[in-house]
């Protein structure tokens, strides 16, 4: 089978892969939901769903730092990476071992394309279609719901020291738009470093969203932001629902509804 991954690289796969290494947490969860638990041989330390994988699968490092010898020893047929999660050096090292597929996710359409591509790659077309159909249905339902909700100006933070926010050309920003949130940092690329002292001049958000990952925000950080914002409401949000693609999206829209109902 000759295919291209989501960054346009050609990949040749002779048979359905039976041994998979996943270097992306959300894709590991997707593989499990596709019924591929037995085929998964290697994961990262951040692959926390499903929970039991940390004791049943070989951990080969993080998303930015892998143990290449551990991966080689697993004798994988395919390694799954992501353009944002993994470095170019990691992808190049993995290519020396076996076929390496790189995803590139900015929109829900990209997610659905990846799910269906995995369905073909791993001979799980029916599983993939069920997941895709559920996402499509829940998305349509959510779009009807959110239409009645007011547009809110928001800032979504992912890190402190330095403070880093979500900008444009990211999957999180795409989901913020779907939630009828106007990202005050959408004029900046990717994940810009920002100064809290300038938050009013740079957009004066009504809502501050503090993600549960990758940084463990606490109440004192909300107070720190409050000193600089103009009466913005600060809300702690589940970063997995805003940044994990794949089968996580099936549940995401109910979470977004519950979030709106709390505001």
Q: Which pLDDT value is given to residue 230?
A: 83
CB 164 within 8 A of CB 134: no
Q: Would you state the pLDDT for residue 2?
A: 86
Q: Would the pTM count as exceeding 0.85? A: yes
Per CATH, domain 146-262 is 3.40.50.300: no
Q: Can you give the pLDDT at residue 242? A: 98
CATH 3.40.50.1980, the chain: domain bounds: 2-129, 146-262
Q: Are strands 207-211 and 58-59 parallel, antiparallel or unpaired?
A: unpaired
Question: CA 87 to CA 35: how far, in whole Å?
Answer: 28
Give the Cα separation of 170 and 239 in Å (integer). 13
Per-residue confidence in pLDDT tens, the chain, 263 aa = 889 999 999 999 999 999 999 999 999 999 999 999 999 999 999 999 999 999 999 999 999 999 999 999 999 999 999 999 999 999 999 999 999 999 999 999 999 999 999 999 999 999 999 999 999 999 999 999 999 999 999 999 999 999 999 999 999 999 999 999 999 999 999 999 999 999 999 999 999 999 999 999 999 999 999 999 988 999 999 999 999 999 999 999 999 999 999 99
Domain 2-129 has CATH 2.60.40.2550: no
Rounded CA-CA distance 67/248 in Å is 27
Indicate the Cα dihedral angle 252, 257, 261, 263, nearest 10°. Answer: 60
pLDDT at 76: 98
């Amino acid at each position: 089978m000759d295919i291209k991954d989501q960054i346009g690289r050609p990949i040749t796969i002779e048979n359905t892969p039976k041994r998979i290494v996943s270097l992306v947490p959300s894709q590991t969860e997707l593989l499990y939901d596709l019924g591929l638990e037995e085929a998964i041989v290697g994961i990262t330390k951040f692959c926390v769903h499903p929970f039991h994988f940390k004791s049943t699968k070989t951990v080969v490092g993080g998303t930015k730092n892998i143990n290449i010898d551990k991966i080689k020893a697993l004798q994988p047929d395919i390694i799954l990476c992501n353009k944002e999660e993994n470095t170019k050096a990691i992808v190049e090292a993995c290519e020396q071992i076996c076929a390496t597929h790189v995803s590139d996710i900015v929109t829900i359409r990209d997610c659905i394309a990846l799910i269906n591509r995995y369905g073909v790659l791993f001979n799980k077309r029916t599983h993939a279609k069920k997941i895709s159909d559920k996402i499509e249905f829940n998305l349509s339902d959510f779009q009807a719901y959110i239409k009645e909700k007011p547009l809110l100006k928001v800032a979504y933070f992912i890190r402190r020291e330095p403070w880093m926010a979500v900008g444009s050309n990211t999957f999180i920003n795409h989901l913020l738009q779907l939630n009828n949130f106007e990202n005050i940092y959408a004029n900046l690329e990717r994940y810009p470093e920002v100064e809290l002292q300038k938050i009013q001049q740079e957009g004066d958000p009504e809502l501050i969203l503090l993600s549960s990952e990758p940084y463990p925000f606490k109440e004192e950080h909300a107070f720190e932001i409050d000193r600089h914002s103009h009466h913005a409401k600060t809300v702690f949000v589940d970063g997995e629902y805003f940044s994990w693609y794949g089968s996580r999206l099936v549940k995401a829209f109910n979470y977004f509804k519950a979030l709106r109902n709390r505001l």
